[in-house]
Amino acid sequence: MDKYIINGGKRLTGEVEISGAKNAAVAIIPATILADEPCILENVPSINDVTIDLRILRELGADVKMLNRNTIRIDPRPIRDMPVPYELARSMRASYYFLSTLLNRFGHAQVPMPGGCYLGDRPMDQHLKCFRSLGAKYSIEHGVVNIEADTLYGTHIPFDKVSVGATINAMLAAVKAEGQTIIENAAKEPHIVDLANFLNSMGADIMGAGTDVIKIKGVSRLHGAEYAIIPDQIEAGTFMIAVAATKGDALIKNVIPKHLEPITSKLRKIGVVVMEYDDSVRVIGQGNYEHTMVRTMPHPGFPTDMQPQFAALLTLANGTSIINEGIFDNRFRYADELRRMGADISVDGKMAIIEGVDHLTGAPVKATDLRAGAALIIAGLSTDGVTEIEDIYHIERGYDNMDGKLRAMGADIVKRTFSESIRQAI
Ligand code: EPZ
């Protein structure tokens, strides 16, 4: 059982290099199955969700080689026609991208229902709607989605709800379908655009990614490609908030400032200084922040994946802040843990009211999901005293070397591994 132990109160300074985007990588890696030649992916984050994706590819028979820590060569040609392993698929959300990619390659696929962070109800009706519209048949038995179609036919897919996952599955399914597909009410997140750029670099014909209407002309084959994944918008935002929470001054490098705009504008609104450069932002914290209102929305609105981290910062702002979670039903599970540290948060369904306090105190807390874990790190860094965070496996699913990067910026954070027997003895 691993823990982070943080001795807080140290300002974050210097610089940090942001890694590749998790939510782009976990879509682009399965997309290599669509090619009939090897692909080389660069700037791939070294995170557990990527490790699981690569394990699934290897189990299916793909030839996967790490060329260095963040560059992977994937040869999909030896892949066998077999079900995706249950436990691997269940340990992350994005395993559902193997549905569209294996369906395209073999005319059928068997993929267990996905797992991932518990954020309330996370149905797949929009994914299944898009497969049905393209002409596929599916059934769900024993926890496995079985899907088949001799041929997929291009069509019109008006989503009832903006969904990142369903938009990506529709693109991955339609890219080799017969004819044109028009996706309406599509998600516009940066990782949607990154996937479209990757597929187009393999010879696909996708237009409009990043807008709410995506047009895809199906092609008969996709060739190999070399592609660098975009920087992680959410990792960058997390570090911006960590610097602000510690009243620090640091340069966040290898970012696309445009992707960070919804975060930058909120930080500036409460009194954080953010200076934008071509591929970096400088954040200067001063520690006397104003309260504010945040509503999470699909991109380009304020990202739900930044909500817990921003809440951690607002616990130390003057006055009453309000957070409306516009995407998920249950994304305030971190509130209990922040209350252990002295935060004043009241939650009512999809809304949280935060009364600013002048300081938090260190405490033993638990990460309940990936971004909740990041929020606890930020709270721990901002307090004088020791914070111990358990269940950090959630955090390591989506952050590349988080503790190492923070230490390089002056934080006192260590990762401790406790064997089960010691834990029981304690
Ligand atoms: C993606 O999840 C991200 N995960 C999430 O990031 C992110 O929070 C979310 O998009 C929203 O931006 C990955 O990319 C792997 P959705 P996804 O489909 O695709 C409902 C992180 O921390 N919905 O856009 O699962 C759904 O319940 C993770 O990195 C349906 O009703 O999210 C939710 O309320 C956490 N039916 C809303 O839509 C469907 O078929 C948005 O979900 C699909 C979704």
The proportion of the chain whose per-residue pLDDT surpasses 90, expressed as a percent, equals 96
Q: What is the C-alpha to C-alpha distance for residues 76 and 33, in angstroms, rounded to an integer?
A: 5
**Active-site residue among 117, 130, 225, 312?**
117
Dist. CA 120–CA 217, nearest whole Å: 35
* Token representation of residue 295: 């509503």
Please give the pLDDT value at position 425.
57
Nearest to 216 by CA among 167, 159, 164: 167
Question: 117, 330 in Cβ contact below 8 A?
Answer: no
3-state DSSP assignment of residue 413: strand
Residues 53/93, Cβ–Cβ less than 8 Å = no
User: Residues 6 or more apart from 117 whose CB is under 8 A from it?
Assistant: 93, 369, 370, 371, 394
Quickly state the pLDDT bin for 359 (edges 50, 70, 90).
very high
Residue 111 C-alpha to ligand 1 middle, in angstroms? 18
- Which amino acid is located at 51 in the chain? T
Angstrom distance (rounded) from CA 193 to CA 24: 9
pLDDT score at 212: 97
Task: Tell me 351's DSSP state.
Answer: E
Evaluate if residue 421 carries a pLDDT over 70: no
Q: How far apart are CA 11 and CA 13, in angstroms?
A: 6
Are 169 and 145 in contact by the 8 Å Cβ rule? The answer is no
Q: What is the pLDDT of residue 269?
A: 98
Q: Which DSSP helix (H) or strand (E) runs through 416? A: strand 413-417
State phi, psi for 205 to the nearest 5 degrees. -130, 80
Task: Inform me whether the pLDDT recorded for 378 exceeds 90.
Answer: yes
Among residues 371, 399, 394, which one has the least CA distance to residue 310?
A: 371
Burial of 309 (0-12, 13-18, 19+ CB in 10 A): buried
Residue-wise pLDDT tens digits, 124-137? 999 999 999 999 99
Res 426 pLDDT > 80 = no
Note the pLDDT tens digit of each residue in 165-202.
Answer: 999 999 999 999 999 999 999 999 999 999 999 999 99
- How many angstroms does the Cα of residue 162 sit away from the middle of ligand 1? 9
pLDDT at 423: 52
Q: What is the pTM of this model?
A: 0.97
Catalytic status, residue 39: no
**Tokens at 136, concatenated:** 């596929």
pLDDT in tens, 74-97: 999 999 999 999 999 999 999 999
pLDDT at 339: 98
pLDDT > 60? residue 340: yes
Spell out which residues line ligand 1, taking CB within 6 angstroms: 22-23, 26, 93-94, 117, 121-127, 161, 163-166, 187, 304-305, 327-328, 370-371, 398
Residue 245: pLDDT band with limits 50, 70, 90: very high
394 pLDDT higher than 80? yes
What pLDDT does residue 417 have? 85
